[in-house]
Structure 1
């Protein structure tokens, strides 16, 4: 998983103080006829007489402070007809001052870094980042607007580093195939350079000073001038893959194999249609090696939103994620008619198999931005027909039940950049199902407008959804209006959201509930000037008020306050206070036209995080909440740590304990299926995650992640939901009393990865998982953990080889 650089410096971009230098710095690049050897040794003849960029300025911990001479950064940049070359020397007083933990690509870990950001169209809105750690690990990302980061973007480029008595050095070769730029004879690119010194109180420095009192990141770049007579190459890359896997699960059922295996292949293609636009295509993708989901016992009336781990759906999706209409897990997710397999079963029939995922055939992404700032994105994916198999247990005959038809998913985005980092956006998403199921279409208009000083923002959206059934169309609407002060120590944000009862983006997006009118007001005051103990602190306050839209009714009112402190030793502390008024919950009953009065509650908490640069680092969180009925209370206690044995080997653990005592909530429906039965209950949940990482080199490593999740639901007393929303003694209602749950999930994900050449990778994966959910409650944690080892488990072993083929290399071979 990528370690987002934004977590270490882009967030501070908006909350640190600065003493900014005026104007943008300029660097005159030199065109060369000599190609340096990319080995991290800066003694090539090509680097002589190249101008030096130096005098970096801190953003953190002491914004505006210039680097010391004996800890300075010196950078040289040149280019030829094929690539940009960068040489950097990062001075330190000793070799031991360089943090150099090894990690997998795109996971920087505990290491110093150097990087370059290139805004090749000088629009001061979009840029590409190329970053290297002192241990030689590469990280790359796309940046847009105020510093939004897409760390899933991957390019093929070359780098090397060396650590010596003077500090460390870095060399880069960034081929033009990794960039987009115009055909102009003379060009000026936006540019900034970054350095992070992990052991030096986590210093983060930039070549062109970042003033966090200004709104934006890319717009505060410097410039690289004097780029002459370079031409965009044909950007065409092929990524064919071959894979094999073996899966074993002890079904021990006639007609179903316990062990299955397959050999497959497919290809990803990246094609630069022109200097501005790229087409990404995946054919018969293989996602068998992505990390397992963190499944939980869901006691809420809403679905669980899982993280997206499939590379194609995380890379280059910034345009498609605008407006929050794209939840990519819908594609290849659970069939729309999954549960119909269990309907209308014959006397002796049982469901033999019912796939929980649809098969993704292919997907394409077309995206880019014109020289005038118009971003265009088109996304399309096709999933195949899915069938469940129903078997007559007496005769052995089987029949198919369609649970999902052939389906097409499509997104179109037009996003126009305006002055002052403003923008307007049009989005359309639609899902076409080739069968009896309904089709869906959602359209939206978004705007974000900043004043000239980027000190105030006015934003909002309007959305419309249409669900096309065979006999009617259901149309819904939503809007948001917001205003914000975005500059200075004191900032605020106000938003109003309205969603009617028919608005539904959930065929390609995700919305937990509709039919509400919400108001949200946030204030933050930040002080960043270093004091005796702190480098910065802030106070954050939020007021949130929600009503049901139609028929209008009060839902809830919440108050939240947080004090955040960053000490000079990089210890971070957060103190929280939360007050929730009693509210009307129209969703917990699971039956229309009923409500449940959620009791008022008060909560307080503390979070501590230690300096992540230390060999042993970690943190703790504790949040306690008391409710005004039944003496109910609950808390979340979390403890996590990471221990770096050496620069190759590290391990860590993350444990969360979340008890809920005398909690009230929905338990089941009565035998008629019309009246909800609530329960006074105790819920106890423990999640335990253990990680181990061993990195052999900057291109080879192995990771292991084990997760055990246990949740115990113990219903102590059943209650009736009265018409006024209060809970009363249960009457003579007939219902299933056996609704306790003892839920265990066990997952192991182990992955060996070797990037044997740029863009090419061999990966070997092993997965083990088990799930148990029983009525008999077990109180001992270790007994529950032991049960996961004896329960039937799914074991999966897979091997995948991905090979990168550059069209330019093929041309060279043909003409050689």
Structure 2
């Protein structure tokens, strides 16, 4: 019979199906029988898996039913969810979660920490919930097109069912999940009896159209643009899928949280473009893939001014490369071999310069047409272990020189666990290669190893990492710094069963020792102590103390390519604290505090504190606010370098204040308005004390320098994102967005907050309004439509 997803479970098929129950508590009373009765039934047909749950509650009027946007898993609502691993390998799977208010959440599960998942994955599935006299009901239909499973006659899937009673924060599962070792996916039960199902033809298209109105305050008129493209998903086999995006438009993604960067390291920004977030679990192996490289900043964008003539000015210099297309193929064979292939092409980018005397213009190539490619092979092994091989390759369509070259990185990693999952060893390594036309090939390598007792109450492990001075995966990956050898030894003790007012605790001590790889030299030694407690009322507190007793030799702050000189930082200490209240309450707050002190002649010290309150005004409206204040006094840092002047450091006070306001007004589970506004204000105020860095890492006072004038910097970033989203059909969406962006940076330090904020609106700002409509077209739906006719 045809199953209607209505949240009632009144079809005869449900009445006759066997049920699973006897849930075991995960939190707070770990290991005890659940205080609430639950019954879960599973059915299947040729097209889908059906899950029906009767979740008993003696007080149905007290069931939490807050609304939220899609994939908002932390709303104040009761939840029921299913974890499924069709290959039953303990490493990979999917989660389908629904709230009592019928808000859908779906994740890809991985084998990391207990709650590791990729919440950017969006599948198309159905759910309906209802509150009844006995509690509440969840009815779910998961089409086979949302799953990848072996093409065998009889299926043996890993499965588990979970329930959260929000008002008591009790979380329980059908198959007991231990906290002693492994991720949740390693503790699934099994579902048998699914036979003779055929993986369907998985073919779907998501075409889109979008339009933009944009105004830049210091430019005349309003600019308009229109875009169109599509996402394509094709099931190549029962287990492998091709995903492609053609002429994508990511203009409505959340604005980046830009910062003032005074460090020698690149700032890493989170990926927010859906195509590069969904289904990328395989490509995260080896830590050599950073998707923000694709369509990122042109290589020569900062060098254009140095490439202009005496009478030329830069009239156009794009800060972003346009993406033409991207494709990924991923899946896993019946024998557990995961295969992933990623490819993307970005267009060439040109800056424009004009001769002010003749009016002639010319173009400077800042990024050529570029192809990005990655291949991953990942073989699952017994005991939730695996071995992986990966390769990235970047080919630029230009003459190879110091700027435009071909880059290649090959790596491997493996994780091996004992049968009881309490002991493990992991290892990995990578080789980076850069191919230049004249300079030949630059090679670099990395090696890593970890071993120890990684399960149980008492845990200890040793970690070793080596990064050569020429290792560079950054054409397609992200590495903060290379040229490092590090050792760490960690001891930790956990309690999982409640005692007194404590639900669980963790204490640990970690010893770290680091060296420069070339030339081999000491850089730092540190001891870290940490403790964390979760109380029975779901308040939590953590305290961390770190000490660098012999100081640090910093080879990166001087910005010398050959690492020939270092800056010696004196011994220091850092203490941090965090406290959280119960998130199920209408008012929640998190508090962070940090204090650091360096025992130096310069008196370097500082603190950071933040408050993050969250208000749940009603089941449809909530907002949260974050205030972060950081003050660093007498901070010593790099200012400039010159062959005649040497390397100049300066003493500065760095002050940063960040205000962030977010809110959501939810009309239905598929219609909501979200707001996020962020103002970041940072200033570095040099007090006039400048120094020349000496060969022994010390500083020599300077009386005067012509190179250090105007070192002060006052930076503001203001971003507002207001987006209305309507999911008008499964997988289909209309979104209307307004975005405002202001950025200003100057040499005049402003100390008054109100004055700085008022000055902010005199800066150039960009306002844009955009409308985007995408529609999900699925082959199976068309097939059913034509059959019915």
* Matches for 1:292-331 after TM superposition, within 5 Å: 292-331=255-294
Deviation per CA, 1:257-316, whole angstroms, max 9, x where unpaired? 653211111000111111110100000011000000000000100110000000111111
Counterpart of 1:538? 506
| Counterpart among 528, 540, 545 of residue 572 in structure 1 | 540
Q: Counterpart of 1:218 in 2: which secondary structure?
A: helix
Counterpart of 1:114? 80
| Counterpart among 385, 406, 409 of residue 442 in structure 1 | 409
State yes or no: 1:693 paired with 2:664. yes
CA distance in 1, matches of 2:271, 2:182: 29
Q: Counterpart of 1:323 in 2: which secondary structure?
A: helix
State yes or no: 1:587 paired with 2:562. no
Counterpart of 1:232? 199
Q: Structure 2, unaligned stretches of length 5 or more?
A: none
Counterpart of 1:13? none
* Matches for 1:56-95 after TM superposition, within 5 Å: 56-68=23-35, 71-95=36-60
| Counterpart among 89, 92, 96 of residue 126 in structure 1 | 92
CA distance in 2, matches of 1:594, 1:432: 35
Contact residue 591 and residue 675 of structure 1 kept, 8 A: no
CA distance in 1, matches of 2:60, 2:644: 71
Q: CA deviation at 1:185?
A: 2.7
| Counterpart among 395, 401, 417 of residue 432 in structure 1 | 395
Rate the CA distance shift 1:124–1:722 in 2: closer, same or farther, 3 A.
Answer: closer
Once the two structures are overlaid, the 10-residue window that deviates more, 119-128 or 685-694, is: 119-128
Contact residue 708 and residue 785 of structure 1 kept, 8 A: no
Aligned residues: 775
State yes or no: 1:285 paired with 2:248. yes
Counterpart of 2:493? 525
* Matches for 1:484-503 after TM superposition, within 5 Å: 484-503=452-471
Counterpart of 1:766? 738
CA distance in 1, matches of 2:152, 2:453: 39
Q: CA deviation at 1:144?
A: 2.8
CA distance in 1, matches of 2:303, 2:494: 54
Contact residue 35 and residue 46 of structure 1 kept, 8 A: no
Once the two structures are overlaid, the 10-residue window that deviates more, 183-192 or 711-720, is: 183-192
Contact residue 501 and residue 535 of structure 2 kept, 8 A: yes
* Matches for 1:107-506 after TM superposition, within 5 Å: 107-108=72-73, 109-146=75-112, 148-200=116-168, 202-252=169-219, 258-436=221-399, 437-471=404-438, 472-506=440-474
| Counterpart among 631, 644, 655 of residue 659 in structure 1 | 631
Counterpart of 2:697? 725
Contact residue 97 and residue 167 of structure 1 kept, 8 A: no
Once the two structures are overlaid, the 10-residue window that deviates more, 639-648 or 453-462, is: 453-462
Counterpart of 2:683? 712
CA distance in 2, matches of 1:123, 1:152: 22
Counterpart of 1:784? 756
Contact residue 392 and residue 410 of structure 2 kept, 8 A: yes
CA distance in 1, matches of 2:153, 2:487: 52
Rate the CA distance shift 1:442–1:258 in 2: closer, same or farther, 3 A.
Answer: farther
Deviation per CA, 1:645-679, whole angstroms, max 9, x where unpaired? 00000111011100001111112234x57622111
Q: Structure 1, unaligned stretches of length 5 or more?
A: 1-33
Q: CA deviation at 1:478?
A: 1.0
Contact residue 89 and residue 384 of structure 2 kept, 8 A: no
Contact residue 350 and residue 390 of structure 1 kept, 8 A: yes
Contact residue 247 and residue 323 of structure 2 kept, 8 A: yes
Counterpart of 1:668? 640
Q: Counterpart of 1:587 in 2: which secondary structure?
A: coil
Q: Which runs of 4+ in 1 moved over 6 A?
A: none
Tell me how large the CA RMSD over aligned residues is. Answer: 1.4
Q: CA deviation at 1:231?
A: 1.0
Counterpart of 1:10? none
CA distance in 2, matches of 1:649, 1:660: 37
CA distance in 1, matches of 2:346, 2:617: 46
Counterpart of 1:15? none
State yes or no: 1:627 paired with 2:595. no
Deviation per CA, 1:474-500, whole angstroms, max 9, x where unpaired? 011110111021121001121111111
Once the two structures are overlaid, the 10-residue window that deviates more, 284-293 or 384-393, is: 384-393
Counterpart of 1:610? 581
Contact residue 30 and residue 498 of structure 2 kept, 8 A: no
| TM-score scaled by length of structure 2 | 0.96
Contact residue 87 and residue 336 of structure 2 kept, 8 A: no
| TM-score scaled by length of structure 1 | 0.93
CA distance in 2, matches of 1:343, 1:520: 44
